[in-house]
Amino acid sequence: MQKNLMLAVVKVSAAPGVVIKKVPIPKPGKDEVLVKVIYASICGTDIGIYDWIPWAAAHIKPPTIIGHEMVGKVLKVNTKQKTDIKVGDLVSSETHIFCLNCFQCKIKNYHVCENIQLFGIGRDGAYAEYATIPLRTTWKNDPAISIEAMSVQEPLGNAVNAVGKAKVKGKKVLIMGLGPTGLCAGGVARATGAKEVVGVNDEPYRRKLAMKTGWFDRVVDVLDIKEHNSFDTVLEMSGNRLGIEVAFDAVRIAGTIIAFGIPKENISIDWGKYLINKELIIRSVFGRQLWKTWHQTTDLLKSGKVDLSKIITHKFRLKDFDKAMAVMKSRQCGKIILEP
Ligand SMILES: [Zn+2]
Ligand SMILES: [Zn+2]
């Protein structure tokens, strides 16, 4: 490696694809840390970024180093603030970089900051040998957790936040969509006392993987959900039109729907039939509460109640990012981890 250069996955222009190339090692700005990336994991969002969907075009100004789920070792802490983060710590980044100034930040609702900036999307991220992270979104990991799991705390955190809002203890739960967050939601629902956990996915590989985790009582194709007005809680994590329709049908009267999956298109629903007549509780969830969700996630991982190694299926070198993305798009995978 040439001095002061590192390998990185860069969105170089406003078009599909990425370029894997040498770029300068970043310097930490004021109140930032510099980390050596150990693992970064591929998120569903990264597929849209790779393919350059309209959402990506609206949020990324190339050139940008992408990647936001990660664990790394702190090499430098550039701050005069008081902090417990020090050189050598194993840290992860919270993707939602908050501003501290807006109304939501003032009421400590940081994850829905009005001026949110996204790590690895609105600024350089972690598909690289080194990365800089704002100190205020740097999470110091508990060394009792496996290093692989440290890089997969974003989907688990989403699941912890979503399942927590649904209050699933003793409930019959349907999880629509079994990407990493949906899979994790099964683990969290099981660990927090759900009576029955049913998973839904149209991809046989994902159904098999979900059953192997032991977190689900049943895993079926969306077309096999014939139970109407049956589930106390539906976690909608697919963002899929059919999945959303089935979710509203399958939830019981006065049940709860947690909206998490982001559709690629506008979705319309029968307002009278579902929202009024069924008297549902609908709760949307966007990311993880800071830092409450991260503490809960740590507890779950330490307790062994949710073992993320069950859903980590592939590991690739960073230089093989295009290969990893092809597997990701094939959906013949759980979580994919990259190693610089
Ligand atoms: Zn993500
Ligand atoms: Zn804010």
Average pLDDT over residues 63-87: 98
Domain assignment present for 335: yes
Nearest-ligand number for the alpha carbon of 42: 1
Domain assignment present for 304: no
The alpha carbon torsion through 49, 54, 58, 64 (nearest 10 deg) reads 20
The CATH number of residue 143's host domain is: 3.90.180.10
Average pLDDT over residues 174-187: 97
Ligand 2 centroid, distance to 59 Cα (angstroms):
17
Determine the Cα–Cα distance for residues 282 and 275; give it in Å rounded to an integer: 9
16 & 143 share domain: yes
Ligand 1 centroid, distance to 237 Cα (angstroms):
13
24 & 134 share domain: yes
11 & 126 share domain: yes
Determine the Cα–Cα distance for residues 295 and 59; give it in Å rounded to an integer: 29
Task: Please tell me the total count of domains within the chain.
Answer: 2
Contacts of 293 (CB under 8 A, 6+ apart): 157, 160, 161, 164
Look at residue 323 in the predicted model and tell me its pLDDT.
98
Nearest-ligand number for the alpha carbon of 46: 1
Nearest-ligand number for the alpha carbon of 104: 2
Interval 250-298: pLDDT, tens: 999 999 999 999 998 899 999 999 999 999 999 999 999 999 999 999 9
20 & 139 share domain: yes
14 & 133 share domain: yes
Look at residue 2 in the predicted model and tell me its pLDDT.
64
Look at residue 264 in the predicted model and tell me its pLDDT.
84
278 & 329 share domain: no
Nearest-ligand number for the alpha carbon of 115: 2
Nearest-ligand number for the alpha carbon of 116: 2
32 & 113 share domain: yes
Ligand 1 centroid, distance to 181 Cα (angstroms):
9
Burial 132-170 (b: 16+ CB within 10 A, else e): bbbbbbbbebeeebeebbbbbbbbbbbbbbbbbbbebee
Ligand 1 centroid, distance to 69 Cα (angstroms):
6
Domain assignment present for 13: yes
161 & 142 share domain: no
Domain assignment present for 208: yes
**Nearest-CA neighbor of 197 among 189, 209, 205, 208?**
189
Average pLDDT over residues 9-38: 98
Count of alpha carbons within 13 Å of 73, Cβ hemisphere only?
Answer: 8
pLDDT band at 1 (very low <50, low <70, confident <90, very high): low
The CATH number of residue 277's host domain is: 3.40.50.720
Look at residue 3 in the predicted model and tell me its pLDDT.
79
Interval 81-137: pLDDT, tens: 999 999 999 999 999 999 999 999 999 999 999 999 999 999 999 999 999 999 999
Nearest-ligand number for the alpha carbon of 101: 2
Domain that holds residue 260: 156-284
54 & 174 share domain: no
Domain assignment present for 296: no
132 & 169 share domain: no
Count of alpha carbons within 13 Å of 217, Cβ hemisphere only?
Answer: 13
Average pLDDT over residues 140-144: 98
DSSP at 119:
B
Mean pLDDT score across all residues of the chain:
97
